[in-house]
Amino acid sequence: MRIIKNDLDLKKQARELNVSIWQAPSFLFLMMGIIMAVLMVVIFIVARNQTSIEYLIITETIVVITIFSIGNIIITNMEKLARINKMKSEFVAIASHQLKTPLTGIGWDIELILSKYKEGLDKKQLQILRKIEQSNIVMTKLVNDLLDVARIDQGDLSLKKDKINFKKVIEKIIEKNKELAAYSDIKIIIGKVRENLDIRCDEKKIEVVLDNFISNAIKYNKKNGRVFITVKEKNKKAIFCIKDEGIGILENEKDELFNKFYRGRAVTKMGIVGTGLGLYIAKNIIEQGNGHIWYKSAEGKGSEFCFSVPVDTIL
């Protein structure tokens, strides 16, 4: 019922596709259905009151021409949208590749200065360099996210098949986010994880998923809040769950949560920095690897996000 409601939301679909309402696919299909129904009624009336074969031929010809005309409009608009989407994905991929090289160079230069020439800098200069370093990290993450999105859209997101220790990679990402957690006085509590819990997956990509889940649980938490991490095994799957005590998700926003570039109104008002790409990328990585992703949330009571991945099988 919810899916049908979303399909019939013509304004929303037109806004998402950046077209006028009459160009939206749902509107065109709806009009096609209405016109076909009207023409069928007309044919029935004509056939009932007329015995002439010429009338029937003319009426049916009009029906066929109308159907073909509307169908041609729909196909033309869909082809146009597909071409635009392809051009957009190609542009994002090219632009991201071009940005990645200078950003990597900047990162290396900053690392070189801070490791070898740190003694010649005063406190203010070091502070400026640290800010540049943080900005470079943010920009690099954005570029990597855009590259992943472009690959997903083009159906070119390839996953490696590394055998990794799930506990170690989780601990690595927790360590990476410790500074962020300390800044907001967030306590991360992790349950017991089996030492030799191995999964076979793309290590870099699963790190992207974990980093998104853990950083979100910290950023969208309350001050002095807690983050609970649990890892369970069920039906030959490793199930990772992370629960926060934060703002939660509005009921009317839940259907859009995994959409590209979507950010909730509450999050936007709070001024929390983000692109709205993390969950979209995470969902595609997990599902392409034969896993499953889900969540539950209540406004003002926090959220719990989970994903499952196969144990000792190809992800």
Contacts of 282 (CB under 8 A, 6+ apart): 208, 209, 212, 213, 293, 307
Do the Cβ atoms of 214 and 142 come closer than 8 Å? Answer: no
Alpha carbons within 13 angstroms on the beta-carbon side of residue 259 total 10
Percent of residues in the chain assigned helix, strand, coil, to nearest 5: 65, 15, 25
The predicted pLDDT at position 228 comes to 95
Domain boundaries, the chain: 1-157, 162-310
- Computed over every residue of the chain, the mean pLDDT equals 80
pLDDT reported for residue 6: 53
pTM of the full predicted structure?
0.69
Reply yes or no on whether the pLDDT at 145 is more than 80: yes
Which pLDDT score is estimated for 23?
65
Digit-coded pLDDT (tens) for 246-272: 888 877 777 788 888 777 776 666 667
- pLDDT tier at 22, thresholds 50, 70, 90: low
CATH of domain 162-310: 3.30.565.10
> What CA–CA distance (Å, rounded) separates 23 from 26?
9
Task: Identify the band that residue 3 occupies on the pLDDT scale cut at 50, 70 and 90.
Answer: very low
- Across 123-127, average pLDDT: 87
The residues with which 187 forms a beta bridge, in sequence order, are 226
Lowest mean pLDDT among 40-44, 266-270, 300-304: 266-270
Nearest to 47 by CA among 57, 38, 32: 57
Task: Give the separation between CA 309 and CA 292, rounded to whole angstroms.
Answer: 7
pLDDT of residue 153: 79
